[in-house]
Structure 1
């Protein structure tokens, strides 16, 4: 094989130089008529066609050009004679870098179900759909850091192993080095965690929020972007046991400042995707429209994927209190006609995604931010309002998904927070440092959390959260 340096297919297609000798390397998608090789190298959703004059090549070599094989091609870039591509490569030199058994390779050029592809998660990124998802995922990671950096925020790494339960949910993965069959015991017969690696019981974190508040009360505006873990035995299309969270925390922000930032943030991400992921989004948009055609009329999306992104990028978000939302829902047609799965009867009800989506898609036809929730359905650290019934919490609601962001102004008053911790029966020794922050130079502060995979579902139109993370971790599944 010649020494010509490899060029990415994305570079060739964005600035094609007709007549140029190029070297492309990638994976065979199809090989038709012993003549046309469709090659993809992952740099773009588009394949580049290589045209082989089979008389110039050994038959044994051509037999190795199977779907899934990795090849290197050197040849001249010419204007394409066929439909569907502007340019193609007329092959002078051809080499198979890695063979793929034609009969055993699982991803044949046909439509595969998403369930099947989850079983082949080590290979599924080679499909057009998952290639697009991975590239968009990278673009969104970059956009998150770009947004916060441009606003003067500092990125903080919070611990993955923690001794506290930030959400009070109790569904955490234990981290231990003790012998599971014969752990050391206390005199009372309980497991003696004093002999464990950390000298206490520890878990994988459910959120970096509590720890990142320490940085906000010193650096002003900070954010985490890290892995979080929930041992919730939930096998739904919306839950993962391992996922990534973006959690900004800002000193001197009240609930209104918090809502402003959340709205600005998701609009920025939506616009960034529309401007920088055009080809991948066009592909996923068409995929979504085709899928919708297979569904019954009442289950179809009213807006296409691109329309949903524009809907978020270009609409002012509606802001209403939880109390106003309950009144709207209580008097709504689906509630009166008992169409909601969970009927809204009284103030204090925990809203479900069907209610959130009704507000966004049917009632306001805009993204919605709900705020001032009942304190009984929210976390201990949210700032108590003067009515003693509600807290300064806020949720951002999106079409097709419901809640995508949850946040609040934090309780900065030591006495109020301590009373709330006692009231909820949370062990004070686990949170001594969090309470102490309120003793030494406390300040009003706010923050929110955006589950990155939930955002990825929104931006790709994928209905199952397992399809927007490379290797999903769910109950009974830690394959790969």
Structure 2
């Protein structure tokens, strides 16, 4: 007999028919009622055991966390809260299950505790909902780019270049850490390493994606990236996923159009296809908000935040205009901001970004034309010589979620910027060479996938939206 999903059974697809379902027991009460879940939906299906015809040994093994195989009949439920239930005719316990040791009991557990049980936390309603939303978002991203003519490019995880110029990278080496070969001046001799040079885990696939955009026209990467930043905040991971499209013959205005359309499309898709999970997460967020002081509570529900982004045109504002708005704002004048804005050139913080979105414009905001000194070397220099064709997209509750730019396509200008920032030209010879052969205007952006999942699910810690978070002092599982 074909195994059916809980989701299909709850849709009543096999009413009054013999069915076969497998899953994990969430609860077992009154020696009779099993709440069964198989991960296909946030909702459990009730399975009613005929305890008079079930031997005692089997009944003792029906415990929270146990995996079971159930055969029975799908009938209309006589109880509240569900339309259908399974009248159990045969139940088999799969594998071992120790009710005294299973840590995920049917009660509220703290998120901190569940991070310590990352191998089991997906069996809770909260984390199963988050991971289904994450999966749907990933599909929506690929689907959008496929429908709009992009080619998916797998850029390298191991790289000899630092796209961001931050220097906070994980080294990749096969040299003996206790006795590495040394050069004449006492430095580690990476010419004897596996790749014959110093290599690291990538912080971005952007530079390599640019090379393929200049041949395929429209490409995107969607893969893991790594940053050795010793930060234990709720917004940082050492390993995370990035979406990075790159498009030839596209200027900054077109890049902003692309990013806005992409985000609205993906959020619309998840609203349509994750209704039950989002409803659960929204209710969970409401309960969390009740525990906060009134001043810290969000003015919008989870669904309202998503619709806020989808239904509003993104307000496009230059960095210079934004600085003037912030300088004149009440929080700045009354020194309510933690970081006071005093002059042009300041690097905006999350509190400033959220003020622009939530208070001043009441719409998602795209800031553009940032000071060159606070942005990366590859961004196109404007004619004023002080600003670059950069853009950041700001969301409610989260601040910056997308960063992008028109790339510097002029060989001489890019070469000078590389020199000014102290980057070894030899390390980027191939990137510079792109500007010598068929150079053209091109643009792209980066979106941290976990930041997007964080926004969509309403979670507040980025460690809770990735299956196994990698953070300082933590590489468990």
TM-score (norm 2): 0.99
The equivalent of 2:445 in structure 1 is: 448
Counterpart selection for 2:413 from 408, 413, 416: 416
- Given that 2:247 and 2:442 are in contact with CA atoms closer than 8 Å, whether structure 1 keeps it comes out as yes
2:198 counterpart of 1:205 = no
Q: What SS does the corresponding residue of 1:268 show, helix, strand or coil?
A: helix
Matches of 2:140 and 2:16 in 1, distance apart? Answer: 37
Q: What SS does the corresponding residue of 1:63 show, helix, strand or coil?
A: helix
Matches of 1:407 and 1:227 in 2, distance apart? Answer: 18
2:101 counterpart of 1:104 = yes
Matches of 2:371 and 2:186 in 1, distance apart? Answer: 41
**1:314 Cα deviation (Å)?**
0.8
The equivalent of 2:220 in structure 1 is: 223
Equivalent runs, 1:128-207 vs 2, <5 Å: 128-207=125-204
Equivalent runs, 1:247-396 vs 2, <5 Å: 247-396=244-393
Matches of 1:331 and 1:430 in 2, distance apart? Answer: 44
Segments of structure 2 that go 5 or more residues without pairing to the other structure are: none
Matches of 2:395 and 2:288 in 1, distance apart? Answer: 21
The equivalent of 1:41 in structure 2 is: 38
The equivalent of 1:462 in structure 2 is: 459
2:231 counterpart of 1:234 = yes
The equivalent of 1:62 in structure 2 is: 59
Give runs of ≥4 in structure 1 deviating > 6 Å. Answer: none
**Deviations for 1:199-253, whole angstroms, at most 9, x for unmatched residues?**
0000000000001100000110100001000000000000000000000000000
Matches of 2:2 and 2:216 in 1, distance apart? Answer: 46
Matches of 1:109 and 1:307 in 2, distance apart? Answer: 30
Matches of 2:276 and 2:257 in 1, distance apart? Answer: 31
Matches of 1:432 and 1:18 in 2, distance apart? Answer: 66
**1:11 Cα deviation (Å)?**
1.2
Equivalent runs, 1:90-101 vs 2, <5 Å: 90-101=87-98
Matches of 1:99 and 1:38 in 2, distance apart? Answer: 19
**Deviations for 1:99-157, whole angstroms, at most 9, x for unmatched residues?**
32111100000000000000000000000000011111110111001000100000000
Q: What SS does the corresponding residue of 2:128 show, helix, strand or coil?
A: helix
Q: What SS does the corresponding residue of 1:71 show, helix, strand or coil?
A: strand
- Given that 1:16 and 1:87 are in contact with CA atoms closer than 8 Å, whether structure 2 keeps it comes out as no
**1:53 Cα deviation (Å)?**
1.5
**1:345 Cα deviation (Å)?**
0.3
- Given that 2:12 and 2:84 are in contact with CA atoms closer than 8 Å, whether structure 1 keeps it comes out as no
Matches of 1:17 and 1:139 in 2, distance apart? Answer: 26
**1:18 Cα deviation (Å)?**
2.2
The equivalent of 1:50 in structure 2 is: 47
- Given that 2:392 and 2:403 are in contact with CA atoms closer than 8 Å, whether structure 1 keeps it comes out as yes
**Deviations for 1:360-401, whole angstroms, at most 9, x for unmatched residues?**
011111000000000000000000001111000000000010
Matches of 2:359 and 2:118 in 1, distance apart? Answer: 37
Larger displacement relative to structure 2 (13-22 or 81-90):
13-22
Matches of 2:308 and 2:267 in 1, distance apart? Answer: 9
**1:60 Cα deviation (Å)?**
1.0
Q: What SS does the corresponding residue of 1:330 show, helix, strand or coil?
A: helix
**1:12 Cα deviation (Å)?**
1.3
Matches of 1:460 and 1:246 in 2, distance apart? Answer: 18
- Given that 2:42 and 2:277 are in contact with CA atoms closer than 8 Å, whether structure 1 keeps it comes out as yes
**Deviations for 1:343-368, whole angstroms, at most 9, x for unmatched residues?**
00000000000000000011111000
Q: What SS does the corresponding residue of 1:381 show, helix, strand or coil?
A: coil
Q: What SS does the corresponding residue of 1:101 show, helix, strand or coil?
A: coil
Q: What SS does the corresponding residue of 1:244 show, helix, strand or coil?
A: strand
Matches of 1:37 and 1:99 in 2, distance apart? Answer: 18
Counterpart selection for 1:113 from 102, 110, 114: 110
- Given that 1:193 and 1:201 are in contact with CA atoms closer than 8 Å, whether structure 2 keeps it comes out as yes
**How many residues are aligned here?**
477
Q: What SS does the corresponding residue of 2:3 show, helix, strand or coil?
A: coil
